[in-house]
């Protein structure tokens, strides 16, 4: 929203009232008291979401010829154990055994220390500037610390607190526990003691099947289903590389204490792309098309030096300077940018923040988040990570199914490599049911591992190793296995592709767009408008008969039929409210166009078209008006160009 349009300051309360009143969304099970972190989308929210997803599908899947899949949400334990989610997808929580309250440990420490720093400033008589707080997590929760006590701290303590806060995202559970003990952090409401932080896995658990023995989870992301189908998808793509799969669907996270509306919820819509590339060649065939686009970046080095200053750079520069790891990653940053702008994000409130070294998974080559600025601070809305070969490798190792690409080499090459020879006949009697597992384990070793094993075998005449699923150590001598370096002419190159993963949190994007596009008409702060782009607006047209006079009924019916045939989503408002009231209602719903039907319409089928944002009106034949609507809504034409052939119309006051 340009500031010229909104001299009235943004009010989150006013936006929340509109979203609730028009049922964009609402707490789920509200008549039962609600469940925190669960929201239902009402008709306008649902239509907006559907239009955004339709745009996403066209922008990514159709435009880039991606392979869409729809995988199950129920996921067995074993899959998420392999992916690392069972062990690592957790937050730290601490309980107050007396009141039963549960706190997320990092959030609690952060909030208490911040409150103490504020109290210190108060005691020192220093003004507190709320606007300073730029960090999302700080403001997006309702405060647990209700009261700021004006108590002066030692200068040294202030320094310590500030230092802790700067690193708050990096502490382990035991470190958080130490901080709580050291700084005497208790339940802020009662000052009662808290248990030390314990790990809480964020996945919803359930049992699959009647025996209760197959433990499962609701997926925390859509990615794993895509990875598991890799070989089938490669086959669908006629074995051609690079290619991408994509998936749109719900995922689940059992947040410890969700707040902040759509920004932190327990069930949410995601759209994820897994783009598979050759690890030796991460160039992108369409990089040239976007290389001159300039984006605002916040690279890791800047953050690590304690600054938030943005760098504006073209993607060409960003990649060639090495700031963005590779062309494919850069290409997706550009595509994410153009998608977000298309659906209504304010470009001045969008930045790309790079993950710092201690934030990123050990296997990731690079990771950037598209962050949107809201009244809660900067919010991570899209992640774009180069996950290297991690996911395919771990699932392959666990299942002994190859998840690789095989490509004919342009010319055969002579390679020296270690090879394993197994005396299969002897394996059966020795290992019985485990024979296959041991064989597969040996065959799955990397060249480095084989080099070590070869050495061990030469030195000791045996190798000794351990396989997770077999209790005892395994010992093999040269009767059972030979490992040798051999020379071979190879015609095929086999490799595990790397994965570049753009991952969209749709609810967060939706909410940010609400904030970016909400404003109040300068003449009246209660006349609020949601300037959703026509492309994604829930309804394109409000049909308004000037009066409820029966004479207008047939033409309303005729125009409705025409709009339906032309597939322009519309609503009729033939209520007895004034024209102005009816338009105001639909300004709140983000409906970009109004068609007014009056007594002249009965005579010559001409109608008036109203623009939501400017309230300008033009007059013309129904056909011309609908053509203008379609051009503006679907073909990216401006109001001025789209209505250039129509007659300006002096509107009566809307007050």
Examine residue 16 and tell whether it contacts a copy of itself (CB under 8 A): no
Alpha helices in 347-417 (DSSP H): 390-399
Tokens describing residue 12: 């989150």
CB of 109 to a copy of itself, least distance (A): 17
Total count of residues recorded for the chain:
655
CB of 202 to a copy of itself, least distance (A): 9
342 burial via Cβ count (<10 Å: 0-12, 13-18, 19+): middle
Backbone angles phi, psi at 404, to 5 degrees: -135, 165
Q: Among 211-219, 286-294, 455-463, 472-480, which window interacts with a copy of itself (CB under 8 A)?
A: 211-219
Q: CA-based Rg of the chain, rounded to a whole angstrom?
A: 30
Q: Which residues contact 7 (CB under 8 A, 6 or more apart)?
A: 522
Examine residue 90 and tell whether it contacts a copy of itself (CB under 8 A): no
CB of 592 to a copy of itself, least distance (A): 18
CB of 70 to a copy of itself, least distance (A): 4
Looking at residues 571 to 600 of the shown chain, list those that interact with a copy of itself (rule: CB under 8 A). 571, 573, 575
Paired residues of 482 in beta bridges:
421
Alpha helices in 535-620 (DSSP H): 553-565, 579-588, 599-604
Examine residue 395 and tell whether it contacts a copy of itself (CB under 8 A): yes
Paired residues of 519 in beta bridges:
529
512 and 372 Cβ atoms separated by less than 8 Å? yes
Of the candidates 513, 654, 491, the one whose C-alpha atom is nearest the C-alpha of residue 584 is: 654
Of the candidates 331, 278, 201, 329, the one whose C-alpha atom is nearest the C-alpha of residue 495 is: 278
Nearer to a copy of itself, 46 or 364 (CB): 46
Q: Among 395-403, 525-533, 548-556, 600-608, which window interacts with a copy of itself (CB under 8 A)?
A: 395-403
Q: Among 3-11, 27-35, 135-143, 406-414, which window interacts with a copy of itself (CB under 8 A)?
A: 27-35
DSSP symbols for 603-643:
HH-EEEEEETTT--EEEEEHHHHHHHHHHHHHS---HHHHT
Looking at residues 530 to 569 of the shown chain, list those that interact with a copy of itself (rule: CB under 8 A). 564, 567, 569
- Give CA–CA dist 633/301, Å, rounded: 42
Of the candidates 94, 46, 293, 294, the one whose C-alpha atom is nearest the C-alpha of residue 195 is: 94
CB of 509 to a copy of itself, least distance (A): 15
170 and 110 Cβ atoms separated by less than 8 Å? no
Site string for a copy of itself, 240-259 (x = CB under 8 A): ----------x-x-x-xx--
Strands 214-218 and 528-530: unpaired
CB of 357 to a copy of itself, least distance (A): 30
Q: How many CB atoms within 10 Å of residue 621?
A: 13
Q: Among 28-36, 149-157, 177-185, 644-652, which window interacts with a copy of itself (CB under 8 A)?
A: 28-36
Of the candidates 266, 269, 263, the one whose C-alpha atom is nearest the C-alpha of residue 34 is: 266
Examine residue 410 and tell whether it contacts a copy of itself (CB under 8 A): no
Examine residue 235 and tell whether it contacts a copy of itself (CB under 8 A): yes
Examine residue 71 and tell whether it contacts a copy of itself (CB under 8 A): yes
CB of 347 to a copy of itself, least distance (A): 26
CB of 470 to a copy of itself, least distance (A): 16
Q: Among 24-32, 273-281, 427-435, 459-467, which window interacts with a copy of itself (CB under 8 A)?
A: 24-32
Looking at residues 321 to 380 of the shown chain, list those that interact with a copy of itself (rule: CB under 8 A). none
DSSP code at position 349: G
Q: Among 161-169, 206-214, 592-600, 647-655, which window interacts with a copy of itself (CB under 8 A)?
A: 206-214
Q: Among 168-176, 209-217, 279-287, 647-655, which window interacts with a copy of itself (CB under 8 A)?
A: 209-217
- Give CA–CA dist 62/161, Å, rounded: 50
- Give CA–CA dist 610/544, Å, rounded: 11
Q: Among 115-123, 197-205, 425-433, 447-455, which window interacts with a copy of itself (CB under 8 A)?
A: 197-205
Examine residue 75 and tell whether it contacts a copy of itself (CB under 8 A): yes
Q: Among 22-30, 158-166, 317-325, 467-475, which window interacts with a copy of itself (CB under 8 A)?
A: 22-30
Examine residue 210 and tell whether it contacts a copy of itself (CB under 8 A): yes
465 and 349 Cβ atoms separated by less than 8 Å? no
For the four alpha carbons of 359, 361, 362 and 363, in that order, the dihedral sign comes to negative
Tokens describing residue 649: 């119309």
Nearer to a copy of itself, 212 or 322 (CB): 212
Candidate residues 225, 330, 344, 620; the one interacting with a copy of itself per rule CB under 8 A: 225
Tokens describing residue 70: 């729809």
CB of 552 to a copy of itself, least distance (A): 18
Q: Decide: helix, strand or coil at residue 57.
A: helix
Examine residue 28 and tell whether it contacts a copy of itself (CB under 8 A): yes
The alpha carbon of residue 330 and the mean position of all alpha carbons in its chain are separated, in whole angstroms, by 17
Examine residue 73 and tell whether it contacts a copy of itself (CB under 8 A): yes
- Give CA–CA dist 374/371, Å, rounded: 10
Q: Give, rounded to a whole angstrom, the gap between the first and last alpha carbons of the chain.
A: 23
Site string for a copy of itself, 167-196 (x = CB under 8 A): ------------------------------
Looking at residues 31 to 70 of the shown chain, list those that interact with a copy of itself (rule: CB under 8 A). 31-32, 35-36, 38-43, 45-47, 49-50, 57-58, 62-63, 65, 67-70
Examine residue 443 and tell whether it contacts a copy of itself (CB under 8 A): no
In which residue are the tokens 């300039």 written?
294
Q: How many residues bind a copy of itself (CB under 8 A)?
A: 80
């Amino acid at each position: 929203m340009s500031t010229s349009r909104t001299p009235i300051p943004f009010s989150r309360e006013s936006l929340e009232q509109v979203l609730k009143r028009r049922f964009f969304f609402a707490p789920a099970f509200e008549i039962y008291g609600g469940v925190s972190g669960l929201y239902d989308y009402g008709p306008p929210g649902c239509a907006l979401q559907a239009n955004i997803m339709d745009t996403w599908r066209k922008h990514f899947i159709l435009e880039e010829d991606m392979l869409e899949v729809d995988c199950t949400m129920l996921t067995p334990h074993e899959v998420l154990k392999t992916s690392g989610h069972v062990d690592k997808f957790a937050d730290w929580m601490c309980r107050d055994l007396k009141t039963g309250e549960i706190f997320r440990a990092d959030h609690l420490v952060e909030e208490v220390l911040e409150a103490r720093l504020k109290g210190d400033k108060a005691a020192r008589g220093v003004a507190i500037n709320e606007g300073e707080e730029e960090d999302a997590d700080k403001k997006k929760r309702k405060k647990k610390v209700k009261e700021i006590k004006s108590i002066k701290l030692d200068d040294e303590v202030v320094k310590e607190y500030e230092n802790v806060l700067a690193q708050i995202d990096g502490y382990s559970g035991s470190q958080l526990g130490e901080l709580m003990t050291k700084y005497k952090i208790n339940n802020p409401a009662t000052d009662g003691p808290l248990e030390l932080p314990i790990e809480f896995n964020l996945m919803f658990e359930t049992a699959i099947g009647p025996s209760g023995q197959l433990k499962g989870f609701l997926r925390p992301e859509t990615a794993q289903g895509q990875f598991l189908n890799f070989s089938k998808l490669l086959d669908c793509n006629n074995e051609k590389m690079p290619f991408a799969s994509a998936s749109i669907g719900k995922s689940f996270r059992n947040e410890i204490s969700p707040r902040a509306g759509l920004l932190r919820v327990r069930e949410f819509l995601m759209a994820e792309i897994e783009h598979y590339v050759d690890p030796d060649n991460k160039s992108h065939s369409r990089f040239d098309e976007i290389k001159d686009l300039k984006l605002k970046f916040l690279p890791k080095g800047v953050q690590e030096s304690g600054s938030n200053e943005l760098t504006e750079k073209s993607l060409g520069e960003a990649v060639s300077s090495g700031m963005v790891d590779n062309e494919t990653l850069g290409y997706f940053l550009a595509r994410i940018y153009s998608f977000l702008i298309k659906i209504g994000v304010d470009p001045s409130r969008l930045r790309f923040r790079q993950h710092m070294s201690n934030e990123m998974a050990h296997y990731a080559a690079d990771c950037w988040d598209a962050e949107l600025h809201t009244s809660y601070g900067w919010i991570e809305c899209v992640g774009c990570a180069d996950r290297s070969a991690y996911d395919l490798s771990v699932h392959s190792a666990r299942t002994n199914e190859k998840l690789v690409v095989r490509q004919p080499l342009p010319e055969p090459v002579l390679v020296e490599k270690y090879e394993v020879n197994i005396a299969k006949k002897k394996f059966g009697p020795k290992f019985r049911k485990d024979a296959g597992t041991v064989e597969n384990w040996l065959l799955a070793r990397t060249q480095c591992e084989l080099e070590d094993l070869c050495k061990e075998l030469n030195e000791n005449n045996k190798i000794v190793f351990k396989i997770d699923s077999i209790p005892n150590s395994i010992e093999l001598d040269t009767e059972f296995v030979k490992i040798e370096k051999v020379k071979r002419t190879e015609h095929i190159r086999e490799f595990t592709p790397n994965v570049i993963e753009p991952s969209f949190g749709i609810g967060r994007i939706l909410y940010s767009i609400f904030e970016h596009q909400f404003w109040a008409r300068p003449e009246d702060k209660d006349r609020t408008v949601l300037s959703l782009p026509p492309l994604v607006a829930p309804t394109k047209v409000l049909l308004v008969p000037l009066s409820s006079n029966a004479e207008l009924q047939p033409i309303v019916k005729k125009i409705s039929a025409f709009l339906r045939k032309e597939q322009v989503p519309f609503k009729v408002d033939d209520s007895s409210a004034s024209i102005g009231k009816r338009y105001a209602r639909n300004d709140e719903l983000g409906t970009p166009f109004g068609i007014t039907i009056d007594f002249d319409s009965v005579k010559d089928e001409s109608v008036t078209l109203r623009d939501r944002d400017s309230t300008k009106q033009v007059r013309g034949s129904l056909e011309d008006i609908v053509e203008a609507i379609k051009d503006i809504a679907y073909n990216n034409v401006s109001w001025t160009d789209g209505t250039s052939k129509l007659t300006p119309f002096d509107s009566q006051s809307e007050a």
